[in-house]
Amino acid sequence: MSGGAATTIGIGHRTIENPVRSMRALTLIGDRKIELLDIAAPAAPGTGEVQIAIKAIGLNHLDVWGWRGMAFAKRKLPLVVGVEAAGEIHAVGPGVTVFAVGDRVVAYGGLTCGACKACREGRDNLCENVAGIMGFHGDGFARDFLNMPARLVIPMPAGVSFRDAACAPVAFATVQHMLFDNARLEPGETILVQAGGSGIGTVAIKMAKAIGCTVITTVGDDEKAAKAKAIGADHVINYRTERFEGVVRKLTGKKGVDVAFEHVGPDTFNGSLLCLKRGGRLVTCGSTSGQSTTINLFQLYLQQYRIFGSFGASIRNVRDSLAKMASGLLPVIDTEVALADFERGLARLESRQVFGKIVVTF
Ligand SMILES: [Zn+2]
């Protein structure tokens, strides 16, 4: 750790200037080129802001896309990576009363306006004036310190670790939003979770089981199948050796599932639709196997499918995710890597060898 940020602290009528002005930051400088750089530490937080000392970041496919240079959005390099994080309040700006130095927090990485209709109604991820996603469009969380508007900072409940909380803003909250705001998953329903060994797949299995659903999931090898069973999946299908559509029909007595949880894309999307019962819901938040597919429109309306596109989450979803962690629904951690090994973590994520989340600790 190269020290604290350039914070000005007033003690009585004396002012002490913290002399350390640089900090570590994992910085994307070109395609597949991330370096640990020393950059300027932030100034003291401004009005309405807090300064967070980052303790852990969760890796996501969003990081892999950015790293590969497959960005679907405009951005400028160099860019500090990291889309979700947990840390500790290091300094508090003028006007901030809800946080104190030492509070443990997570940050919401969508730079929303806080004022539009969507923001006012708590649908933060539909903000009409969003300035981008931290770590993707602009600088992210993989640095020792950063200043954030206090309204985008969420307190961590007691008993939750930084490592686990770092998975709340994206992995947990995305799934919370998909399952409960979009697909409106109900207790007792049957759900198909595609790629159950992925970061969000493992969260979906655990959240669905927690409310008493029957969970069918797909994985790519037998080792992952055993792990998916161990975290609660009722039925696990190895999609490399079995046709999952056929197995799901059989498992559900030809009825199909109520909800399909998608994020794989063209490789599985049509199969997931075929697995739905009439009036079933498909919710998707990603497309790791490609961008486009064709769907059968006759099937769509005759079977009365409902398809939800889902991206990100609201601040409420992050709070709900942290509350679930506090009550014992914890993320499945594949690997914890040190800051300097960030790229090894990304390569592991891209190789799809993971089971659960990869977390980088500071
Ligand atoms: Zn807004």
Instruction: Give me the DSSP letters along 250-272.
Output: HHTTTS-EEEEEE-S-TTTHHHH
Q: What is the pLDDT of residue 181?
A: 98
Distance from residue 338's CA to the centre of ligand 1 (Å): 35
Distance from residue 136's CA to the centre of ligand 1 (Å): 19
Distance from residue 276's CA to the centre of ligand 1 (Å): 35
Q: How many Å separate Cα 218 from the centre of its chain?
A: 20
Compute the distance between CA of residue 330 and CA of residue 338 in angstroms, rounded to an integer.
Answer: 21
Distance between the two ends of the chain, CA-based, in angstroms? Answer: 8
Q: What is the pLDDT of residue 68?
A: 63
Distance from residue 138's CA to the centre of ligand 1 (Å): 17
Q: Which residues of the chain have pLDDT under 70?
A: 1-20, 64-74
Distance from residue 211's CA to the centre of ligand 1 (Å): 32
In terms of Cα–Cα distance, which of 346, 306, 361 is closest to 86? 361
Q: How far is CA 129 from CA 24, 117, 124, 270, in A?
A: 31, 10, 10, 34
Distance from residue 95's CA to the centre of ligand 1 (Å): 21
CB atoms within 10 A of CB 88: 16
Cβ–Cβ < 8 Å for 94, 285: no
Q: What is the pLDDT of residue 73?
A: 57
Give me the sign of the Cα torsion angle 30, 36, 38, 42: positive
Compute the distance between CA of residue 163 and CA of residue 25 in angstroms, rounded to an integer.
Answer: 18
Phi-psi region of 265 (alpha: psi -120 to 50; beta: other; left: phi over 0): left
Amino acid identity for residue 128 in this structure: E
Amino acid identity for residue 208 in this structure: A
Compute the distance between CA of residue 17 and CA of residue 11 in angstroms, rounded to an integer.
Answer: 11
Whether omega before 78 lies within 30 degrees of 0, making that bond cis, reads yes
Query: Whats the size of the chain, residue-wise?
Result: 362
Q: What is the pLDDT of residue 15?
A: 40
Cβ–Cβ < 8 Å for 109, 134: yes
Distance from residue 74's CA to the centre of ligand 1 (Å): 20
Distance from residue 114's CA to the centre of ligand 1 (Å): 5
Structure tokens at 297: 């429109």
Q: How many Å separate Cα 268 from the centre of its chain?
A: 21
* Cα dihedral 201, 88, 336, 312 in deg (nearest 10): 20
Cβ–Cβ < 8 Å for 215, 232: yes
Distance from residue 49's CA to the centre of ligand 1 (Å): 18
Compute the distance between CA of residue 190 and CA of residue 182 in angstroms, rounded to an integer.
Answer: 16
| Consecutive H or E run containing 320 | helix 315-326
Pairing label, strands 79-80, 104-107: unpaired
Structure tokens at 279: 């009036």
**Residue 290: exposed, middle, or buried by beta-carbon count in 10 A (0-12, 13-18, 19+)?**
exposed
Distance from residue 64's CA to the centre of ligand 1 (Å): 27
Q: What is the pLDDT of residue 69?
A: 60
Q: Which residues contact 256 (CB under 8 A, 6 or more apart)?
A: 248, 249, 275, 276, 277, 278, 280
Q: Which residues contact 318 (CB under 8 A, 6 or more apart)?
A: 106, 108, 154, 168, 169, 172, 173
Q: What is the pLDDT of residue 2?
A: 41
Distance from residue 219's CA to the centre of ligand 1 (Å): 38
Distance from residue 121's CA to the centre of ligand 1 (Å): 9
In terms of Cα–Cα distance, which of 237, 243, 206 is closest to 222? 237
Distance from residue 206's CA to the centre of ligand 1 (Å): 31
Give me the sign of the Cα torsion angle 330, 334, 337, 342: negative
Q: What is the pLDDT of residue 19?
A: 47
Which residues have their alpha-adjacent CB atom under 5 A from ion ligand 1? 112-113, 116, 119, 127
Residue 205: strand, helix, or coil: helix
What pTM does this model have?
Answer: 0.91
| Consecutive H or E run containing 326 | helix 315-326
Distance from residue 106's CA to the centre of ligand 1 (Å): 20
Distance from residue 126's CA to the centre of ligand 1 (Å): 7
Distance from residue 125's CA to the centre of ligand 1 (Å): 8
